[in-house]
Amino acid sequence: MPTQHPPAVRALPAVRRTAAKRAVPRAVPAPAPASVQPQSAEPDPAEIARLAYSYWEARGGEAGSPEEDWRRAEAELRARR
């Protein structure tokens, strides 16, 4: 039985590597200072959640209503603005 040899392997053409295009930085306007930025009419939900949680902790983590704590925190934060 004749021995079979693998087919000849052709050399692949060399890949020419080029320098990657660099991103050109663009001028981005700086955000306005907090004193100039308009205040949102609605308090931040994360801020409301933190304050509502503090009400629950102040009660010792017992009784009460999470919804009532949320409404109370939301009202207090609106009044502060």
In this prediction, residues 31-40 reach a mean pLDDT of 61
Residue 50 resides in a domain? yes
Query: Dihedral through CA 43, CA 46, CA 50, CA 51, nearest 10?
Result: 10
pLDDT reported for residue 55: 94
Residue 66 resides in a domain? yes
Residue 10 resides in a domain? no
Supply the pTM of this predicted model.
0.50
If one counts the domains in the chain, the total is 1
- pLDDT of residue 46 exceeding 70, the answer is yes
Residue 53 resides in a domain? yes
Q: What is the pLDDT of residues 8-29, one digit of tens each?
A: 666 666 666 665 566 656 666 6
Tokens 């955000």 belong to residue: 31
Residue 40 resides in a domain? no
Q: How would residue 69 be classed by pLDDT, with cut points 50, 70 and 90?
A: very high
Residue 13 resides in a domain? no
Residue 27 resides in a domain? no
Domain containing residue 58: 45-80
HSE value, Cβ hemisphere, 13 Å, CA-based, for 13: 3
